[in-house]
Amino acid sequence: MKMKLPTTPSFSLTGKRALVAGASSGIGLAGAVALAEAGAEVTLVARSMQKLEDVAEALTAKGYKATPLALDVSDVEAVQAAISNMEPHDILLNSAGMARHGAALETQLEDFDAVMAVNVRAAYFLTQSVARRLITAQRPGSLINISSQMAHVGAEDRAVYCASKFALEGFTKSMAIEWGAAGIRVNTISPTFIRTPLTEATFSRPEKRAWIEEKIKLGRVGALEDIMGAVLYLASDASALVTGTSMVVDGGWTAE
């Protein structure tokens, strides 16, 4: 009798629809590329239509499917209305986020509210909106929020940011429990410091660069390509039994 070998689950996203928030740059852009390369039809969301059109043009030039949609994710009512009028998205990648760093004793109310409005409130209701369309259509899905290694540890000058990302991890677990029976998986990706235009200011400070490189056990900062594989894994059937957890891509930062 011939041995029956197991079959590796597919990483293909052909026939899937994906919504990527924060798709105009950085991790969101990289995630959109990964999803499109795997065959997904990607809806690109950010505030700047010009930037989104540039991304969409670059993707379609390679034969991928991408459509720009200008939305401010902090405008929850506008997001809810837009998603409710669209075909369901099988995949959500929410990379929209913000940070205002500073000493905890110097935190201003407006800074706290601004970070929470995007990193918690907007992320919560964006995830809810995509899930609602899937549940109504009786379709499974994979919903991914970009979190941070700072959702698992603390750091000076990052009390508000850490609070927002710990909160995101919390609602991710609860949503995963509630929607599991519907076949909807909810996870986060928690990167270390990744080189993007937004992090260049941090890397330009020698003392901060030294601190980062000392904490990352692999001895280098992250690149956008380091996140793309994690996005594809969580979006695809390869992670069919993964929900309510965080994929930490931190080079060993949180190992200690």
Rounded distance between C-alpha atoms, residue 171 and residue 198, angstroms: 26
User: Quick one: DSSP state of residue 119?
Assistant: I
Rounded distance between C-alpha atoms, residue 105 and residue 157, angstroms: 9
CB 68 within 8 A of CB 56: yes
Strand partners, 189: 146, 247
SS (H, E, C) 120-181: HHHHHHHHHHHHHHHHHHCCCEEEEEECCHHHCCCCCCEHHHHHHHHHHHHHHHHHHHHHHH
Q: How far apart are the first and last CA of the chain?
A: 49
| Annotated catalytic residue 161 | yes
Active-site residue (options: 64, 124, 161, 233): 161
Contacts of 22 (CB under 8 A, 6+ apart): 28, 45, 46, 73, 94, 95, 96, 97, 146
Q: How many helices (H) and strands (E) does the chain have?
A: 9, 7
Entry field: residues in the chain = 256
Catalytic residues: 161
